[in-house]
Amino acid sequence: MKYRIESDFLGEMKIPSNAYYGIHTMRAVDNFPIADVAISVYPNIVIAYAMVKLACARANNQLGLLDNDIYHPIVAACERIINGEFHDQFIVEIIQGGAGTSTNMNANEVIANVALELIGKEKGDYETISPLNHVNMSQSTNDTYPTALLVGFLKEYDPLLEAIKSLSESFHAKGVEFADVIKMGRTQLQDAVPMSLGQEFTAFGNTLLDDIKRLNEMSQLFLEVNLGATAIGTGINSHLDYPKIAVEALADLSGLPLVLAPNPIAATSDTSAFVSFSSVLKRVAIKLSKISNDLRLLSSGPIAGFNEINLPAVQAGSSIMPGKVNPVIPEAVNQTAFQVIGNDLVITLAAEAGQMQLNAFEPVLAVNILRSLRYMTNAMVMLRTKCVNGITANVEVCAKYVEQSPGIATFFTPHLGYKESARIAKKSLADGVTVREIIIKEGLMTEEQVNEVLHVDNLTKPNIQ
């Protein structure tokens, strides 16, 4: 392999001659062999960083600080990255020390070397176009990195909203399909009162749909950026008008209604937006896990369980028990939710651990937000396509549970009183006789009256006239 020699104030390093990254990137790769995952695994972050660098270059050029012969190649390089090129050159680890400096330097070097190549210069000719003096002009990691993260989150976030909406729609569709299937509701895993299976599935859909509103509210926090704050929020080494122009340029490039933080010093050190957004992701994860628990219970059996619904059989369930099928899709969703809940704890700890004018732990904050977004999106798509859409109801089983449950004694309380209804429920359970049979046999109500009380319309909605 051919190499070029690059240097920094720490010394020299060999860089592969065909690499668009440089010495700062190579030092980071050597220093942080942790997750074995490069930032390029999240293309929206790479694209967002290129947008930030382009916006900064545009502001510097407009203010007369960046000459056209340097500005135009930088713009062209950024545009190529935004369009998907050179992402394999973003090789630094997603978890890194330095509050994101390695990611910023990786972006600076790739952009500079792509720009150099575009004008016929050799990679590493930083006297012509410099990663630091030109690409990073008027910038610090401490304003470009969080700004790129927030833009990247908002780009990564749209698929999650679509996944929630689609999964909710699937549950609602099942709600319509199962509208006439009467079953027992349960509280504390004990028989409660009847409901329709359609009501149960519609409730699953509604509880998820509500979180779109919550997520949209929290995502608004990501629209406030500190671009132009430079090192600690004071804006040193930048023009007075630079922040406003740079943020407006980034808003134009990203299509997002970004605004400049009213207090850049506070915005540079504050990571509470991460915490707030993650808390809603955790809320979604908890709901999704609870729904998955319910699906596993409702499908348990098929003989020694509830067996009220059938989940699609997607793989053999045992290497020793022939014919066994397990609820593997809800189980995978449960585990995804556990991970997202754990991610939220990491985010909480990292946000709390920041000191003074900067939180040095933004990389791990970012990693866990991105993982939660991607994991939740993928889990919801999987649950919808491989499970929910194929669920069927065991109508006879559901009806049998309703008929045999002492819980339907509740419906006779307005007619017979609580004490008498409780006696009937107890007798039903002890003697193995239905509530219906006891009431008719003891002459407490006629068969026609009992049938009216237990009419399907009265079982699933307010029943006092």
Quick one: DSSP state of residue 38? B
Spatial distance between the Cα atoms of 6 and 14, rounded to a whole number of angstroms:
7
16, 165, 200, 326 from 206: Cα distances, Å: 54, 10, 10, 27
Quick one: DSSP state of residue 5? E
Neighbour-count burial for 93-125, b at 16+ CB within 10 Å, e otherwise: bbbbebbbbbbbbbbbbbbbbbbbeeeebebbe
Spatial distance between the Cα atoms of 451 and 445, rounded to a whole number of angstroms:
10
Spatial distance between the Cα atoms of 409 and 423, rounded to a whole number of angstroms:
9
Q: Among 39, 56, 48, which Cα is nearest to 100's?
A: 39
Location of structure tokens 């012969």: 69
Spatial distance between the Cα atoms of 329 and 321, rounded to a whole number of angstroms:
19
Query: How many CB atoms neighbour CB 315 within 10 A?
Result: 8
Spatial distance between the Cα atoms of 465 and 457, rounded to a whole number of angstroms:
12
Answer for the pair 226, 427: CB distance below 8 angstroms, yes or no: no
Query: How many CB atoms neighbour CB 395 within 10 A?
Result: 15
Spatial distance between the Cα atoms of 221 and 369, rounded to a whole number of angstroms:
14
Spatial distance between the Cα atoms of 405 and 9, rounded to a whole number of angstroms:
79
Structure tokens at 191: 């028989």
* H/E stretch holding 163: helix 141-177
Rg (Cα) of the chain, in Å, rounded?
A: 30
Please name the amino acid found at residue 385: T
* H/E stretch holding 56: helix 43-62
Answer for the pair 221, 43: CB distance below 8 angstroms, yes or no: no
Structure tokens at 428: 């039903």
Structure tokens at 297: 């219970």
Give catalytic residues, as residue numbers: 318
> What are the respective helix, strand and coil percentages of the chain, to the nearest 5?
60, 10, 30
